[in-house]
Amino acid sequence: MTLIYLALGSAALVPVFTILAVLLRDPDRAAVSRTLATIGYTERRVGPAGRTFGERIGQPFARRLGRVGTALTLGGALARLQRQLDRAGNPPAWPVERVVAAKGIGLFAGAGGGALMGLMLGGGSTLLFATLGGLALGFFGPDLAVYNIGVKRQDSLRASLPDVLDTLTICVEAGQGFDGALAQVARNGRGPMAGEAARVLQEMRIGKSRSEALRAMASRTSVPELRGFASSVVHASDLGVPVGQVLREQAKEMRMRRRQRAEEQAQKVPIKILFPTLFCLFPALFVVILGPGVINIMHAFMH
């Protein structure tokens, strides 16, 4: 029966690999070859001794697999992925093109790992479901990783905002301008908030107004507290209200919100430990308490 399932699976993979062969084909290769032949260009190849195995085999293979991720990622999904990368701080080593390529590589790696696990578990329908599960996990795994990084970064921004507002308030009330106070945060601060302050200053240097740079920061971070901070500073600048007073009120409100979040998290702790207690602690207690009695009752009925 397992051989029948393997044969059916192999037959089903034929059209899949046919489609992949079309997707992986380089459409510009023939045109580039004709152009090079027209100008009399002769390709100078580097010998195998001059390149590593990764350069000769690994990188071209990874690029071809990455094209599958590019072909399967639609325009809306690509824009959503870019927003998630903005929320995650746009890691320099992971531009959107590399994440999309990782989705294509993960598609094949997950399918192969799932198929191997399915064969180890007995094949049949288990092989099919394990392959599909590995395929989905490999394709959507990079999205989940970027999303988790973005959520952690948002939490870090939200937690550090009251301290940043206190620093801005002290600097402004000491006589510095708002831009100088923001430069102090970028220079002496830590974490993603210092990076966001530095980016706001950089955007202002290349021609953006303060309101545009602050609104762009609020938009890319998607943190409601930062959006409120940016709106308050922009409105204060437009209406002529002292920025120091606005910052002091914002800092007081953010400290209150941080305390409320801490109290909310503390109230969730009993609910979170309920299920581990029920399924891990209570069974062991029942075995220790009731086990000897059950054994004695069984001996009494047997004799």
Is 274 within a domain?
Answer: no
Residues sharing a CB contact under 8 Å with residue 104, sequence separation 6 or more, in sequence order: 65, 66, 67, 68, 69, 70, 72
Q: At what angle do helices 210-221 and 192-205 cross, to 10 degrees?
A: 140
Instruction: For residue 302, tell me if it sits in a domain.
Output: no
Mark whether 221 and 260 lie in a shared domain.
yes
Residue-number span of the structural domain to which 185 is assigned: 154-269
Tell me the two tokens of residue 269: 């702790």
**Residue 169 falls within a domain, yes or no?**
yes
- 260, 162: one domain: yes
Judge whether 275 lies within some domain.
Answer: no
* Residue after which a domain boundary falls, among 132, 153, 174: 153
Does 92 share its domain with 124? yes
- One domain, residues 139 and 224: no
Q: How big is the CA angle at 235 (ends 229 and 240), to the nearest 5 degrees?
A: 125
Please give the pLDDT value at position 152.
92
Q: Considering the entire predicted model, what is its pTM?
A: 0.67
Separation of alpha carbons 8 and 1, rounded Å: 11
Same domain, 192 and 148: no
Within a domain: 283: no
Q: Which of 121, 153, 185 is the last residue of a domain?
A: 153
Is residue 112 domain-shared with residue 172, that is, in the same domain?
no
State the CATH number of the domain containing residue 228.
1.20.81
Q: Which backbone phi and psi does 186 adopt, to 5 degrees?
A: -65, -35
Whether residue 137 is found in the same domain as residue 94: yes
What domain count does the chain have?
Answer: 2
**What is the mean pLDDT, run by run of 10 residues, along the chain of 303 residues?**
50 47 46 54 50 62 68 76 86 80 81 82 78 85 89 90 88 86 87 89 89 89 88 85 84 87 86 83 82 82 76
Q: Are residues 79 and 125 in the same domain?
A: yes
User: Do 9 and 110 belong to one domain?
Assistant: yes
Last-in-domain residue among 123, 153, 183? 153
User: Is residue 40 situated within a structural domain?
Assistant: no
Residue 65: predicted pLDDT? 66
Q: Are residues 19 and 129 in the same domain?
A: yes
Query: Is residue 16 in some structural domain?
Result: yes
Dump the DSSP string for 142-201.
HHHHHHHHHHHHHHHHHHHHHHHHHHHHHHHHTT--HHHHHHHHHHH--SHHHHHHHHHH
Q: For 146-162, what is each residue's pLDDT tens digit? A: 899 999 999 999 888 88
Same domain, 79 and 213: no
Q: Is there a domain that residue 216 lies in? A: yes
Residues 9 and 113 in one domain: yes
Q: What is the pLDDT at residue 140?
A: 87
pLDDT tens digit sequence for 46-79: 445 555 655 666 667 666 766 766 677 776 787 8
